Amino acid sequence: MFTRNTPQKILESWKQIAGYLERSERTVRRWEASEGLPVHRRGHEKQDTVFAYRHEIDVWSRSRTKCPGAERIDDAESLPPVKSANNGYLVEHDAITRTMHCYIAGARAGDSNLMHAAFYPWATISGFCQGVEYSGSVKHVFDWITENGPAPNIEPRFARIEIIETIAVVHLEVQHWSGKLAGANARASDVFTLLKRNGEWKITHKLFHWHDQ
């Protein structure tokens, strides 16, 4: 059995992360989506795998504000009322994060072709960069990514993933942008809306704010 006292520094699966936090897998997935639990992903051809660093989870745990009875509430929420509903949520959650990692992979490599699959062709953008408002077709994002070039050190974090039937909202924080247009060590806040159609989750709109360095 995986215990919290293990010397292992990297947790290599949802099961290990859940074991380290002494919670269910459903709870730690929810914490990643809604409370910023630091979970990372390795991209693979068919399905991504997850991992986490113990020291990052320890810092995250210490930063959470506990109130009386919080442990009991978390335990109660970790028990899914219906197994099929629980499985359905996890399937959709993983499908959405796979879509988002197409976007992340393209940003990291500076190759917009890698992120095309994450967006509907008619997707749009709006937001602010250095005080200037931008809006229009998602093609503007693709052109910017290609011109900016690779940003290999970006650190993306899912601040929130909310799923409502066939629609979803993803709040993504990305630190340490670099490149020809981004400069060095920039930060961006993105909010994406996604639509599930024909069994696929894709981005319909990207709302962004580029923070001044």
Q: What is the pLDDT of residues 140-189, one digit of tens each?
A: 999 999 999 999 999 888 888 899 999 999 999 999 999 999 988 899 99
Q: Is the pLDDT of residue 79 over 70?
A: no
Task: Tell me what pLDDT residue 8 has.
Answer: 59
User: What single-letter amino acid sits at 185?
Assistant: N
Mean pLDDT of the chain: 82
pLDDT for 132-146, tens place per residue? 888 999 999 999 999
Domain ranges for the chain, please list them: 10-75, 89-211
Residue 200 has pLDDT above 60, yes or no: yes
CATH assignment of 89-211, among 3.30.70.580, 3.40.50.300, 3.10.450.50, 1.20.1090.10: 3.10.450.50
Long-range pairs for 44-48 at CB < 8 Å and ≥24 separation?
47/94, 47/98, 48/94, 48/97, 48/98, 48/101
Question: So what's the pLDDT on residue 165?
Answer: 92
- Provide the β-strand partners of residue 200: 197
